[in-house]
Structure formats: C-alpha cells, structure tokens
Amino acid sequence: MFVDFFYSLKKAGIPVSPTSFLRLQRALSLGLINSIDDFYTSARAILVKSERYFDLYDQIFAHKFQGADFKDPTELELSEVAKALLEEWLRDPRGLAQALGIDEKALSKLSPDELIKYFLERLKEQTEAHQGGSKWIGTGGTSPVGHSGYHPGGMRVGGVSRNKSAVKVAMERRYRDYSQEGPLTEAQMGEALKRLRNMVPFGPKNKVNIDKTIYQTTKNGGEIEIIFDRSLRDRLKVILAIDNGGWSMDPYIGIVQTLFNYSRSQFKDLKTFFFHNTIYDTLWEDPPRRTKPFAVDELVRLTPETRFIIVGDASMAPYELMATDGSIYVEERSGRPSFDRLKFIAKTFSHSIWLNPVSIDEWGYTRTISAIREIFPMFELTLDGLEKGVGYLMRKN
C-alpha cells in the first residue's frame, strides 16, 4: 500500500527508510489511520525525520493524493498564485521566464494586468491539462507553481483551523520556511553553528589516569586517590576571512560574523580577518580594514592544521584577481596578483574552503568565481552548503 507514494518521497530526496515504511504499514494495519488527515500527519511523523523536508513532503503529498481528495484550486487561490508569480517576475524575470519556458522579451512587453491575466491562463491550463495525475506542483522546486507557493506568508499551524482537507493543508506548504534550499537566515544560523560544533568533540573529566592514580596512591601510603583526566579532544584552530567590502556582501556580514563569534567558545583559536573582494598581501583584523593589518606571509607561521574559511561573493572585475597590480586600493598594490596569493593560502592550509553567499546557479556567470573555484573548493552559504563545507574541512588529511 502506498508504495508509490513512498518511492516518490525517496525520489524527491527525502531520506525515507524501508523500516519506517513498514512501521507505517503497521500503523495502518492497527487501524490507527482512518482518514486522509490522519494519514498525512502519521505518515509525516513516521517517515520524515527533519522539518527541513516537511515542505517537500507537503508538495509530494499534495501531488500524490490530489486524485483522492483534491478539489481544483479556486479562482481566488489561482489569483493568489498569479500575484506571487508577478512578484517573482519582478524580482527575477529571466529565472521565471526560463521556468515557464517562455520568452522573456515577449513577457516584458505586457503590462502588469496583462501579466496577471497571462499567468492565470497558464495556471488554469496547467491544472486542467494535468489532472490525470502527472504533476503540476513541482517536486524539485523549480516549477513556478510550486516555487512561489500558496502561502507566500509562510508558516501556518494547520491544527488550529481545521476545516481543510489534508491535501489543502499540504498545499499550503506551511513548512516552506524550513526547506533546506533556502538561504541561511538568522534562525537557521544557530543550527548551522552547531554543525561546526561537531568538529570539536567534547570531553568531560572522566578518564582515570591509572599511572598517576597508582603513583599518588603509593605516595599516600595506600590511601587511594584517583586522578581523573580529560579525554583527548581535538580542538580546532579556525581562521575566518570575510569579504566585508562592497554592497554585494553587506547583507551577509552580520550573519557570518555572529555565526563565528558564537563559535568562539567552541574553537580554541578563532581568528577573524577582513578583506575586500579578494586577498592581496594583507588581511585586516579590524572590520574597517584600516588599523590592524596582518601580512599574508605571516600565515605560514600558523599550524597548517588550521582550518581556513573564506566567506565572500568572489565576484569582482577579472583584473582584480589576475593583474599584478589588481587591487582597487593603491597602497595594496605589490606586484603580486591576488590569484597567486590565494593559491599560496590554499597551499599553506590544506583544509580551506570558500563559502559563497551567491546562489550556486549563478556561479557560472561570473568569471572570477570560476577562477577561484580552481583554487578553493567552494560551497554555497546555505545550510546544505555549510554542511558540505564542514564535512570537507573535517575530512582526514
């Protein structure tokens, strides 16, 4: 029963295990699930183990069970979506045009009213044409309908006003806020930070040092004295270099910095440096990049085990990266291109990564991003990317 549903979840990338599926079967056979509402909540509790996947689950549930208990979206709902699409269009015309598979230019000729009308027609067409069960709510997150969502406002507690069917609740996509693909918000920051905590094993003072205990006991003339030691722990040294110049980085600095300030207690040694666009001969310890320079050459004196994390959008004019006197600041020009300096850093610290707040889809459009990716493994500054990045930093040798 519902094998198909199970596989759709799996296909969409939700880590569902066969055991949990069997457990769901047991719940079904125990007669605990009597309605589609029950099924929605129970299957989610049993199969899905992280709120990050709740959104995806909602989408797939809505898609799979639309035949069973699904009414066509009302006119009102459709116009909501159309409005959301319009907003999306204003923000990112090209992306939306691509997703809908239409010509950007043709669309840009339309007035807002005409646009809304056009979207509405498209949406109706989609619902009507695909009632046979193929999806009109995107599962991968690219379909425009799925993407803009039914509740741009985000979260809602379905249990409160419960006159909607489970499918409708699923359609609300209440858990969109927790979706993994989203960028790092302040609320998620804590979560990401704790991922870094994985890097430093904690240890209480719980290991008996037998040698010392025996020594101390004999010294006491048989009076037993037990000596405890802390179990070995690997506390990492971390250097964080943040690009804090240029308006493009502005929205992210606060987030990144707080993230690492919090983690100060976790790391034995956390150094924060600042730079603008890319690194030349100096890094700065003060955010205005004025009073406390730190020569890049000095970095060799630090242990090579140090984890070097660079956060920046890596977007600049190509000459800033490649030319011998590339810096936009005259006093920083030294005759060595930044490209070489970055290579030097990557060579000094074998565990180094570049975190980029720019979304991964756009990396291909910026030449300097591609160039820097040749030097550093680059990860997106999202929960997912951070996780991968930390994984990379923690790999052995």
**Binding stretches for other proteins (CB under 8 A):** 15, 17, 19-20, 23, 26-27, 30, 32-33, 37-38, 41-42, 44-46, 48-51, 54, 155-162, 174-175, 178, 187, 190-191, 194-195, 197-198, 201-204, 206, 224
Tell me whether strands 207-208 and 228-229 are parallel, antiparallel or unpaired: antiparallel
Shortest distance (Å) from residue 305 CB to other proteins:
22
* CB closer to other proteins out of 78 and 393: 393
Smallest gap from residue 207 Cβ to other proteins (A):
11
Q: Is the CB of 119 or the CB of 178 nearer to other proteins?
A: 178
Q: Give me 341's structure tokens.
A: 């300096």
Q: Provide the Cα torsion 316, 318, 324, 330; round to 10°.
A: -40
User: From CA 304, how far away is CA 285, in angstroms rounded?
Assistant: 20
Smaller CB separation from other proteins, 133 or 153: 153
Distance CA 56, CA 44 (A): 11
* Least distance to other proteins, CB of residue 11, Å: 19
What are the angstrom distances between the C-alpha of 96 and each of 104, 127, 173, 180, 383?
Answer: 8, 19, 20, 21, 24
Please report how close the Cβ of residue 286 comes to other proteins at its closest, in angstroms: 21
Nearer to other proteins, 54 or 275 (CB): 54
Separation CA 372–CA 342 (nearest Å): 8
Are 36 and 137 spatial neighbours (Cβ–Cβ below 8 Å)? no
CB closer to other proteins out of 72 and 225: 225
- Closer CB to other proteins, 281 or 387, in the complex: 387
| d(C-alpha 80, C-alpha 145), whole Å | 11
> What's the min distance (Å) between Cβ of 313 and other proteins?
23
Smallest distance from the beta carbon of 167 to other proteins, in angstroms?
14
- The SS3 assignment for 392 reads helix
- How many residues comprise the chain? 397
Minimum distance between the CB of residue 33 and other proteins, rounded to whole angstroms?
A: 8
In the chain, count H helices and then E strands.
Answer: 18, 9
* Between 88 and 172, CB nearer to other proteins: 172
